[in-house]
């Protein structure tokens, strides 16, 4: 993924919303009520920008781990 924009999808602890940010970025690009909506939007961004999507698991054995799409 070197040189590609990487969009991270994660669940915000304070309000439970799903957010999209650039890797290493602080600013939220967009927020969503569901993980599915956030991932669909991030996939479109990545496709249009020749990038990649990574998401942070929010529960289960993989909670907090980064998953690549």
Q: Name the pairing type of β-strands 6-11 and 52-56.
A: parallel
For the segment 7-18, what is each residue's pLDDT rounded down to a tens digit?
999 999 899 999
Identify the three-state secondary structure at position 38: helix
A 10 A CB-CB count for 20 gives 21
C-alpha 1/C-alpha 68 separation (Å) is: 11
What pLDDT shows up at residue 56?
78
Phi-psi region of 39 (alpha: psi -120 to 50; beta: other; left: phi over 0): alpha
For the segment 19-68, what is each residue's pLDDT rounded down to a tens digit?
999 988 899 999 999 999 999 999 999 999 999 999 877 665 556 556 66
Token output for 56: 């942070």
């Amino acid at each position: 993924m070197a040189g590609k924009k990487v969009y991270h999808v994660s669940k915000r602890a304070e309000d439970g919303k799903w957010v999209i940010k650039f890797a290493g970025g602080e600013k939220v690009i967009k927020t969503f009520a569901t993980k599915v909506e956030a991932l669909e939007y991030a996939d479109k961004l990545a496709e249009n920008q020749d990038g990649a999507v990574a998401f942070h698991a929010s529960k289960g054995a993989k909670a907090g781990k980064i998953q690549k799409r």
